[in-house]
Amino acid sequence: MNARQLKVIAVALGVAVLLCLPLLFRGSGEGGTLDIGDGFSFVVTDSIAGVDLVLADDAGTVRLERTDAGWTVDGYVTDEPKIRDLLDVIRQLSSSELIARNPSNHANLGVAEGGRQVEVRTVGGDVRRFHLGERDTRSGGYFVRLPGDDIVYRLDGPAGGYLNRDRDGWRPRLIASVDTAGVREILMRRGDREAVLRRSDEGWLAGDAPADSALVQRLLAILPSVSASGFPTDEEEAAADFTLADGSFEVFSEGSADVTGRRLELAILLLEDEERGDWVARIADGTEAFRLSSLTVNRLLPEALLPVP
């Protein structure tokens, strides 16, 4: 057999393979063929009332829910931009990236029964579900499967990452934002030590003496973006007694809110967590606790500005 004959045979085999490929993926599903149809398709046309992120192995559910006051996550206030991002993408998810069709692969890909599942609830009372598996570390995206379907696809785009957040990942980290241009007075307390900072025409005063301008500017720089480092557990939050706060921080601006001619802009109560090395905090008139790093608290309550007892 010469080279010309070998080339003809190779071309014929290549054509035969190309002709058979469509049958492998568009056949009846019998005899080793598979009909993938339109691939993974998850479309919600009605308004979304909530999204449940059911964790694997009965580890609980993260519930995102629309309320009259806005969206909540397990009853806590959510970060609205994150909710908007989620709603923008979850209404219509699709993929044609087939990963596996054998159910024996479901466990390794994280899409087996009892694994993580996404449930979307509409205002009309409908519930739609799909399995959300592990992240494909090689090419990105997450493995997904529709209930009752053995076929696993890879879902690219941001949706998988959004839906992989835990409860705290949906909560806002920005606790307060104060316009420092209007700040006129700051009250600080740490244990038994208290200090009052006042803005005067000549600059900031600590009591009747000029305050360390560098420390004051460092304090003011954090006020437009006071951010939590994390959140306490439900048990830690329930045990936090803010009537026995280890510290407090209050910011006032000029205003007519009371007879003193000032308006309260921000008030934070603080409990030191010596074991963790940070602080549990709460806005004075708020209901939700959060954690502040020691670095943040040291900027809000500078030791050098507090009188020595």
| pLDDT tens-digit readout, 197-218 | 999 988 999 988 999 999 999 9
pLDDT in tens, 180-190: 999 999 999 99
Q: Please report where in the chains the tokens 């908007």 appear, as a residue.
A: 84
Tell me which of 5-9, 14-18, 194-198, 256-260 is least confident: 14-18
What's the pLDDT score for residue 152?
Answer: 97
pLDDT greater than 80 at residue 12: no
CB 301 within 8 A of CB 245: no
For residue 14, what pLDDT is reported? 53
pLDDT band at 15 (very low <50, low <70, confident <90, very high): very low
Residue 59 amino acid letter: A
Residue 65 vs residue 258, higher pLDDT: 65
pLDDT band of residue 37 (cuts 50, 70, 90) is low
Contact 19, 29 (CB under 8 A): no
Q: Report pLDDT for 202.
A: 87
Average pLDDT estimate for 145-151:
95
Task: Judge whether residue 59 has pLDDT over 80.
Answer: yes
* Band of residue 139 on the pLDDT scale cut at 50, 70, 90: confident
**Is residue 23 pLDDT above 90, yes or no?**
no
3-state DSSP helix/strand/coil % of the chain, to nearest 5: 30, 35, 35
Is residue 262 scored above 60 in pLDDT?
A: yes
pLDDT at 233 over 70: yes
Q: How many CB atoms lie within 10 A of CB 64?
A: 25
d(C-alpha 129, C-alpha 14), whole Å: 42
Q: Which residue has the higher pLDDT, 290 or 5?
A: 290
pLDDT band of residue 26 (cuts 50, 70, 90) is very low
What is the predicted pLDDT for the residue at 34? 42
CA distances from 99 to 109, 190, 285 (A): 9, 58, 51
Weakest-pLDDT range from 59-63, 71-75, 141-145, 258-262: 258-262
Label residue 301 by pLDDT band (50, 70, 90): very high
Place of tokens 């007694």: 241
Give yes or no for residue 132 having a pLDDT over 70.
yes
Average pLDDT over residues 133-150: 94
pLDDT of 284 higher than 60: yes
Q: Does 134 have pLDDT greater than 90?
A: yes
Length of the chain as a residue count: 309
Q: What is the pLDDT, as a whole number, of residue 2? A: 60
- Structure tokens belonging to residue 45: 């046309």
Give, in degrees to the nearest 5, the angle at Cα 242 between 241 and 247.
130
User: 78 and 171 in contact (C-beta within 8 Å)?
Assistant: yes
pLDDT exceeds cutoff 60 at 194: yes
**Could you tell me the pTM of the whole model?**
0.80
